[in-house]
Chain A
Amino acid sequence: MKTEILHNFTSRSRAATADEAQRGKFRSAMDFLIAKRAAQFPDPTEWAELRESGQQIRQRALAYLPKLLVQFEQKAQQNGMTVHWAETPLEANQIIHGILQRQQVRTLIKGKSMVSEEIELNQYLQAHSIQALESDMGEFIVQMADEKPSHIIMPAIHKSKQEIAALFAAEIDDTPYTEDVDELIQIGRQALRQQFFNADAGLSGVNFAIAETGTLCLVENEGNGRLSTSCPRVHIAITGIEKMLENLADLPTLLTLLTRSATGQPITTYVNLISGPRRADEQDGPEEVHIVLLDNGRSQAYADVQLRQTLQCIRCGACMNHCPVYTRIGGHAYGTTYPGPIGSIISPHLLGLAETRDLPSASTLCGACGDVCPVKIPIPELLLRLRVENVTRAGTKDHPAVMRGQGAKYRLSEKLAWQAWSLLNTTPALYLASRRSAAGLRHLIPSVKAWTQARVMPKIAPQSLHELIKAHQEQKS
């Protein structure tokens, strides 16, 4: 089923571009976010310095990643937290399920976590009779509609307030239809309050994990992240292994880059720094804190210094906000947890290139994503690299097998056609001969049906440039 979803990128994006209402919603949402971000970085010198520091902090952390993970684990344990490691989504799900089972938890209240989407935790728990309830308003809406987030920061960006009003009226007891956003939010608040009160366990994502102090940093505006992590007696945090920072002193720079790039806020309403469960004399806070460190293909990206830059990402979403492709097709067309430019460079590591073969081409290479990335990930370069990996057979001498699913788009006929093309153009005699038979040239061009859907097939001129010049010179002399 997953394969089917992923391989349908072309048909999904075609359907999405035909949906004018949806395109309008994305266009206005992206314009809003672009303007808000721009207002936060008015000074180009400050922006340049900040993102330079941001890049260096992330690259320094990645340089020491194995050491930092061990240091983080030690510190977190000293602070009274339990650290778990998972290589695959299944392992992560089993770990979380195990904790909930031991605690006899039937309902899990969730703060926002894209990694939990990545491992499809809700579905896994549901299959094991545990209800996972999203409490971020956007996620709450998306879960109620039985959909997936279409943006990593604003999960319900694809829905209009009319759609949300209808959804609430239909799904929440005693709720009249209202398009008043304040009222809708209050309805959501009331619906979730009882759940926070009842929940025995809460789950959250992690924006940064600080190795020096064994601290989890969580950034949010609503307070649902704070509630999920301080109200229930068990708190489980899940994060990719790349989210490590070396020092607490690294945090301010990344925090300011993250919140300004993501939603154009100087800071979010809440920055929550969690360094352990409740201490002996404290009245609230969880009695147990568990952290799940997930690999799921990240160590594959880490193995190659060019692709490793993917892991610098702080998930601000700015690249998708500025992407002309994302704006037109929306997040669902990608069929992956992380859409847009960051999704196109990270998903191949999480799911394998065979499953995500179309994503590296889902870009105009206009460069907007690379220009706004606050940690200077050269996204267009990485997209090109993945396109090469797509058509390179694994194990050939210039391309050691790094990527799972390498060579997904490799076709011998295409390879031969390009080899012939190159031979033709670098061998004058052959070139001349081929010029005399334009038809001969045309059949060497690989199938261009898709290409000509939006373009006119060029006609081969009756006379070549060489012939024209020759004729011109003869005329002159």
Chain B
Amino acid sequence: MSARAHILAKLTASHDQPGWPAPVALKTNPPRTINAADQLAQLKTMMAAAHTEIHEVSSENWPEKVAELTQAKNLNNLLIAPKTALGKQLQAQWPVDGVTLKYDLHHSGGKEELFFSVDAALTSCRSAIAETGSLVLWPSPAEPRLMSLVPPVHFVLLDAHNIYPSLTEVMQAENWAAAMPSNALLISGPSKTADIQQTLAYGAHGPKELVLLIMV
């Protein structure tokens, strides 16, 4: 008998033994009614507590803000996703020359560049969760997974209209269960670890800095 058949046979033989609590229907919490301003405030509080740098921007001026921060942080380059709406707007409005890189892993040396010479990347995010201070990212062909992970600085642009009270609400509202992407992510701060004597250190393997730009 295969391991599969054997394991399933053993489990099935004992699965409906008397004495195990009958499954009960879980009460589903009614959607929370937190107003938009409170959600924004909560998101900012939680994310700031997790060491995220936060800036409020508008839908017009955010490329300037990114440029300003890139200079202030002395970043040599910024990786963008040129085919996304955000990538297009940034290219159109980019005020300085020569610091943006376009993401292309297929290009030979693309991965090496990503790992060893990219200073920062800019990505979008789909939505955010106020309760825990989390950003929801669904990497896509135009904006691949490693963009938000490998470069030491990660800029994220969030539309404040897409903030939900909790993970449950965002999963329901966006009907995640119907079609999950190959990789969905919650990001709630820069990479960190407390593995050495419970001392918190940032930038363990992922970005050392997470910079959130909220379009309000």
A interface vs B, CB < 8 Å? 28-29, 32-33, 53, 56-57, 59-60, 62-66, 69-70, 79, 85-87, 91, 135-138, 141, 154-156, 159-161, 164, 181-182, 184-186, 188-189, 192-193, 196-197, 212-213, 215, 221-224, 226-227, 230-231, 241, 247-249, 251-252, 255-256, 263, 266-279, 281-285, 293, 295, 299, 302-306, 308
Contact = CB atoms under 8 A, between A and B. Distances in A.
B72 interface: no
B185 A284 contact: no
Contacts of A281: 141
Given A215-B180, A226-B205, A251-B171, 11 more contacts: A66-B11, A87-B3, A138-B195, A186-B203, A223-B204, A226-B206, A272-B183, A281-B141, A282-B144, A283-B103, A303-B10
A476 to B, nearest CB: 54
A80 to B, nearest CB: 8
B10 A282 contact: no
B198 A32 contact: yes
B134 interface: yes
A268 B133 CA distance: 10
Contacts of B180: 79, 213, 215, 248, 273, 275
Nearest to B182: A276
**Nearest 10 A-B pairs (CB), nearest first?**
A223-B206, A138-B195, A222-B204, A223-B205, A271-B186, A85-B4, A267-B132, A275-B180, A137-B195, A60-B23
B85 interface: no
Contacts, number: 249
B182 A278 contact: yes
Contact of B7 (A32, A85, A135): A85
A45 B176 CA distance: 30
Interface in B125-168: 131-134, 139-141, 144-146, 149-150, 166-168
A267 B183 CA distance: 18
Contacts of A184: 196, 201
Interface stretch (B14-22, B55-63, B92-100): B14-22
A255 B206 contact: no
Given A154-B195, A222-B192, A305 B17 contact: yes
Contacts of A57: 26
23 contacts: A28-B198, A29-B198, A59-B20, A59-B21, A63-B15, A85-B2, A91-B3, A154-B195, A154-B198, A186-B203, A249-B28, A252-B166, A269-B50, A269-B190, A270-B185, A270-B187, A270-B206, A273-B180, A283-B104, A283-B105, A295-B7, A302-B14, A304-B14
A137 B204 contact: yes
Given A53-B26, A85-B2, A252 B168 contact: yes
B204 A185 contact: yes
B205 A181 contact: no
B157 to A, nearest CB: 19
A28 B194 CA distance: 14
Nearest to A137: B195
Contacts of A267: 132-134, 186, 188
B193 A251 contact: no
A11 to B, nearest CB: 28
Contacts of A231: 146
A268 B188 contact: yes
B196 A185 contact: yes
Given A221-B191, A266-B46, A283-B106, A275 B11 contact: no
A63 B22 CA distance: 8
A193 B111 CA distance: 12
B35 interface: no
Contacts of B172: 249
A285 B145 contact: yes
Contact of B19 (A29, A188, A305): A305
B167 A156 contact: no
A273 B194 contact: no
Nearest to A88: B3
